[in-house]
Copies of this chain bind each other. A is one copy, B any other.
Amino acid sequence: MRIALLGGTGDIGEGLALRLTRDTDHEVVIGSRDPEKARDRAAAYEDELGRRELDATINGFANPMAADRADVAVACVPAYHLADTVEAVADSLDDTVLVSPAVGMQRDEDGMHYNPPGVGSVTALAADAAPDGVPVVGAFHGLAAGRLADLDADLDWDVPAVGDDDDAKATVTDLVDAIDGLRGLDAGSLAAAPEVESLTPLLINLAANNGDLADLGVRFH
């Protein structure tokens, strides 16, 4: 498959690009609003893989070109950029599964709190922004970015996925399963996205309040 990481120049994009390239045969493409930045970061990811003697090609493009012919497009952008990012690539999403990993959160003196948009969840926001017929799956929330991007770090995490299109969701959970140390789980329909997105502030609060915990993920068993 061709996997486009829209806004894939940040830390979640880096981790997904490195691990998808190392652990799977999928083609990974980095998108950015700025195509030069996309090319620079793609080259940096190639270098990082090269230092590990993994010979890989990762291309960088402007987001719409990255999304073009992608089987899966992951919107690796903050929640407040999500609608803009999806709208910018709308014409390129053809037989593409759109994946939303963003979470709406608000920090105050009591810690981090889940702060969903008015439509109920950030995944629902992505679904509203996507063209009709483009299946949207919420997944890859709350992955500790530093650990994800560190190929020396073993992961042992579950990735719950939500969405109304079962085939699209299975595509995403299969993609998750293909990354060493990750397990994709079906967490239900789009309407169950708030429970999944709420995990991220919980992980942040747990890491902030327990000195021995950092770069947290979750396992269900």
Interface residues of A (CB under 8 A from B): 108, 110-114, 156, 160, 185-192, 194-196, 198-199, 201-203, 205-206, 208-210, 213, 216-221
Contacts and interface: CB of A to CB of B under 8 A. Distances in A.
Nearest to A183: B210
For this chain, the copies found in one complex come to 2
Given A185-B213, A198-B199, 18 more contacts: A108-B191, A110-B188, A111-B189, A113-B191, A113-B192, A185-B209, A186-B210, A187-B202, A188-B208, A192-B201, A192-B202, A194-B198, A195-B205, A203-B220, A213-B220, A216-B221, A217-B220, A218-B218
A110 B189 contact: yes
A107 to B, nearest CB: 11
22 contacts: A108-B191, A110-B190, A110-B191, A113-B195, A114-B195, A114-B198, A160-B202, A186-B206, A187-B205, A188-B208, A192-B202, A192-B205, A195-B198, A195-B202, A195-B205, A198-B199, A198-B202, A206-B220, A216-B221, A217-B220, A218-B220, A219-B221
Nearest to A202: B195
Contacts of A195: 112-114, 198-199, 201-202, 205
A218 B196 CA distance: 13
Contacts of A216: 220-221
A33 to B, nearest CB: 32
A208 B187 CA distance: 8
Contacts of A205: 187-188, 192, 195
Given A187-B206, A187-B209, A221-B217, A111 B192 contact: yes
Contacts of A111: 188-189, 191-192
Contacts of A209: 185-188
A160 B210 CA distance: 10
Nearest to A191: B110
A112 B188 CA distance: 9
A221 B156 contact: yes
A113 B209 CA distance: 26
